[in-house]
Amino acid sequence: MTVLKENTEPQTAPAVPATTEPRRRKPVGTRAYKVFRVAALVAVVLFLVAPLFWMLLASFKTNVDIYDTGKSFFFTPTGENYANVLQRNNYFVFIFNSFWVAFVSTALSLVLGVPAAYAMSRFTMHRSALVVLMARVIPGVSLLVPWYYVFSNLKMVGGFEVLILSHMFVSLPLIVYIMMSYFDSLPLELEESAQVDGLTPIGAFRRITLPLSVSGIATAGILSFIFSWNNFMFALVLSGSKTKTLPVAIFDFVSYASIDWGGLMAAATVVTIPIMIIALFTQKYIVSGLTAGATKG
């Protein structure tokens, strides 16, 4: 870095006649590169979106049409699969289960995680942070055997409490991780001056820091909700027939004998659509949450 800085002086000098504003972008754009870039970007978007589009198409086909390769794109759409999923398979119950587990575990994790992240950031408790972040590293299976044993003794397996607890285990480290990097970037001066004006340290946290952290909390909350909604392994072991979440319920459409492809694709669509809609509206938060802490040393 230091070696290169010496060379940068010529660049700052011509920047003074600021009238030629577009010249910074100019070198990127040879015509061949521009064409290549557009083509490459289209290819990337197709690669990412086409499979999802295919799933959506298949969910509107009858099983006969799915087996007919001549009807890949042109067919008479049917709502039968969705009727099957939502009515006969009671998916509204599973949608509610998924939502409830994700919502409560996120809310509780925020209550526990935000103050913890604050303390860990302000007092640089790196070793304590490591304990919490350890939860992200540990393979879930190694926790499930003991959990299953304990919770089945407590007659809790199949209830919402145990699912929520296990999902909090995923949410809490995520929230602590995101909020720590958020608090790290929040200037100390505001809290200090609030304390000079007579607030206690906890008061300063509640009245100054928390209100300033709304966007960080939203980021952490949204991501935690998505991860909980998508979680499969914990629900596979710990949920009962009444508390089944959507990712587990999908398997109802797969049996050894045959697969109801239309129903399966409709179910997969029902699982993914809500989360994608949330993602569309909260894009900025998701990106900042996923990249939190990635760019600092």
Partner 1 sequence: MSVLTPPRSAPSRKAARTPSARENFSGWANRHRKWLFAAPAMIFVGVLIVFPLAWTLYLSLTDSQGSVRAASEFVGLQNYLTVLSDVERFWPAVGRTLSFTGVALVCEVVLGMCIALLLWRPFRGEKWVRVAILLPLVATPVAVGMMWRLIFDPNIGFVNQLLGMVGIPAQPWLSGQDTALGTTIFMDVWQWTPMVVLILLAGLTSLSEEPDEAARMDGANAFQRFFFITLPLMMPTVIVAILLRGIDALKTFDILYATKGKGGGSFHEVETLNVYAYGLSFDYNQYGLSSAVLILFFMIIIGSMWLLTMRKKAVSK
Q: Does 28 bind partner 1 (CB under 8 A)?
A: yes
Q: By CB under 8 A, is residue 32 in contact with partner 1?
A: no
Quick note: the x/- pattern for partner 1 over 145-174, rule CB under 8 A, is xxx-x---------------x--xx--xx-
Interacting residue with partner 1 among 35, 134, 188, 190 (CB under 8 A): 134
User: Which residue, 241 or 255, has its beta carbon nearer to partner 1?
Assistant: 255
Contact characters 180-219, partner 1, x per CB under 8 A: --------------------xxxx-xx-------------
Does 221 engage in binding with partner 1 (CB under 8 A)?
no
* Min separation Cβ 260 and partner 1, Å: 11
- In whole angstroms, how close is the CB of 88 to partner 1 at the nearest point? 19
- Interface residue with partner 1 among 16, 18, 21, 25 (CB under 8 A) is 25
- Gap between the Cα atoms of 164 and 208, Å rounded: 31
CB 202 within 8 A of CB 152: no
3 state SS of 159: coil
Considering just the CA atoms, what is the radius of gyration of the chain in Å? 25
* Beta bridge partner(s), residue 259: 254
Residue 138 makes contact with partner 1 by CB under 8 A:
yes
Question: Of 75-83, 88-96, 186-194, 242-250, which part binds partner 1 (CB under 8 A)?
Answer: 242-250
Interface with partner 1 (CB under 8 A), residue from 136, 161, 188, 240:
136
Question: How far apart are alpha carbons 46 and 58 in whole angstroms?
Answer: 17
Q: What is the DSSP string of 229-291?
A: HH--HHHHHH--TTT--HHHHGGGGB-SS-B-HHHHHHHHHHHHHHHHHHHHHTHHHHHHHHT
Q: Which is nearer to partner 1, 115 or 159 (CB)?
A: 115
Contact by Cβ (8 Å): 168, 190: no
Tell me, what amino acid is at 2? T
Phi, psi of 20 (to 5 degrees): -85, 70
Q: Is 41 in the site for partner 1 (CB under 8 A)?
A: yes
